[in-house]
């Protein structure tokens, strides 16, 4: 049996597009009654967005170290978005 993997294309987005998409996702999930306790938390997502945004600005100088940090922060943000996507697709079952 073949394993299937859902991809969302976050890795392929340009930095500005990824920041826009991540911010839109955070805004849509904020106070959303259908997703009351997202995993990862929206605070974690916001922190990753802010870290990546700052790293993008610093990397504009062309400094190799700053570019490496930007790439690392992008990877962190993409992983959080993947986890959040899994939560939205398969939210935890409520126990009664």
Both tokens of 26, joined, read 């955070």
Q: What is the pTM of this model?
A: 0.86
Classified as helix, coil or strand, 14 is coil
Considering only CA atoms, which of 94, 76, 96, 80 is closest in space to residue 35?
94
Asked if 11 contacts 66 with a C-beta cutoff of 8 angstroms, the reply is: no
Domain ranges of the chain: 13-89
Asked if 9 contacts 22 with a C-beta cutoff of 8 angstroms, the reply is: no
Between helix 15-29 and helix 64-89 the angle, nearest 10°, is 40
pLDDT block averages, 10 residues each, the chain of length 96? 71 95 96 91 97 97 96 97 89 63
H and E: helices and strands count for the chain? 3, 0
């Amino acid at each position: 049996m073949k394993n299937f993997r859902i991809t969302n294309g976050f890795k392929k987005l340009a930095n500005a597009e990824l920041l826009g998409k991540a911010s839109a996702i955070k805004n849509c999930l904020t106070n959303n009654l259908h997703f009351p306790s997202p995993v990862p938390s929206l605070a974690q997502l916001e922190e990753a967005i802010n870290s990546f945004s700052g790293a993008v600005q610093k990397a504009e100088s062309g400094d190799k170290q700053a570019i490496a940090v930007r790439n690392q922060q992008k990877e962190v943000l993409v992983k959080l978005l993947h986890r959040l996507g899994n939560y939205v697709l398969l939210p935890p079952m409520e126990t009664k």
